[in-house]
């Protein structure tokens, strides 16, 4: 049996009921064989970045998994498909988006998967929830670099960097 690896997954949605979609995706991920959900960030609302459409709801989860990185990616894509994910063009509004941010200490650079996620440090909607549950992965300088991106925690607290 494969040894467990700690991984971090970003979740986002801005179509239909994005709050329900992100929460359901967390539950769907937790229900998969070979995955244990360890931590969930709060939900955050942010404006689309390099995109259009309604605001996004975002979060990050920490999981322990016995799945390989490609198998975990495949599981994430299956959850997206079950949620009605379509990819008509880059950065299109979506019912659900799941991104593998970090997979243990692995560095992966393949056609199908790049880990750590190549744009995670450019996005407040990834960095703030990741910082909430795994501050060791986010530096003050990285947070400062996305300070102009507005983000609001769903429970009502807000932070304009």
- Is residue 99 part of the annotated active site? The answer reads yes
d(C-alpha 105, C-alpha 5), whole Å: 9
Please state, in angstroms and rounded to a whole number, the distance separating the CA atoms of residues 131 and 123.
12
Asked if 97 is an active-site residue, the reply is yes
Residue among 56, 99, 110 nearest 76 (CA): 99
What 3-state DSSP class applies to 52?
A: coil
The pairing of beta strand 158-160 with beta strand 150-153: antiparallel
The Cα 72–Cα 66 span in angstroms is: 9
33 annotated active-site: no
Of the residues 55, 94, 140, 155, only one is catalytic, namely 94
H/E stretch holding 25 reads helix 18-30
> For residues 65 and 139, what is the distance between their CA atoms, to the nearest angstrom?
25
Catalytic residue among 28, 40, 45, 99: 99
Residue of 28, 40, 45, 97 marked catalytic: 97
66 catalytic? Reply is: no
Catalytic residues: 85, 94, 97, 99
């Amino acid at each position: 049996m494969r040894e467990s690896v700690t991984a971090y997954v970003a979740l986002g949605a801005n179509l239909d009921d994005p709050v329900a979609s992100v929460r359901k995706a967390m539950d769907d991920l937790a229900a998969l064989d070979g995955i244990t959900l360890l931590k969930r960030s709060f939900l955050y609302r942010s404006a689309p970045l390099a995109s259009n459409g309604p605001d996004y709801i975002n979060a990050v989860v920490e999981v322990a998994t016995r799945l390989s990185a490609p198998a975990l990616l495949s599981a994430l894509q299956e959850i997206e498909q079950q949620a009605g994910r379509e990819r008509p063009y880059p950065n299109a509004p979506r019912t659900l988006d799941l991104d593998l941010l970090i997979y243990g200490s692995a560095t992966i650079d393949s056609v199908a998967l790049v880990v750590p996620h190549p744009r995670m440090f450019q996005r407040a909607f990834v960095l703030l929830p990741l910082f909430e549950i795994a501050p060791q992965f986010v530096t003050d300088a990285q947070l400062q670099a996305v300070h102009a991106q507005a983000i609001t925690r769903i429970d009502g607290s807000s932070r304009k960097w």
